[in-house]
Amino acid sequence: MYEAFCVLYRDFSRAPPAKRLSQSYDSLELAIGAACDVAQRNAEPMQIRGSEGTVIERAELAELIATVAV
């Protein structure tokens, strides 16, 4: 079954900071890469959400980003 993913992040370039959703990604790997890109900007990745109910919370997402960054 197909599942699309998006990244929920807090955008600090706005005053006050705003929660935002990224575009849709076709795989979890692409969403993790996008979360890594978000972390390098003035934003904080908070979750990855899947269209079929998958949720990767902040702590696990931080570990995945650290793994990708190495």
4-45 pLDDT per residue, tens: 999 999 999 888 999 999 999 999 999 999 999 999 999 999
Report how many domains make up the chain: 1
Domain boundaries, position 47: 5-69
So what's the pLDDT on residue 19?
Answer: 94
The pTM of this model reads: 0.88
Confidence of residue 58 (pLDDT cuts 50, 70, 90): very high
Residue 15: how many CB atoms within 10 A of its CB?
Answer: 6
So what's the pLDDT on residue 37?
Answer: 94
Average pLDDT of the chain? 93
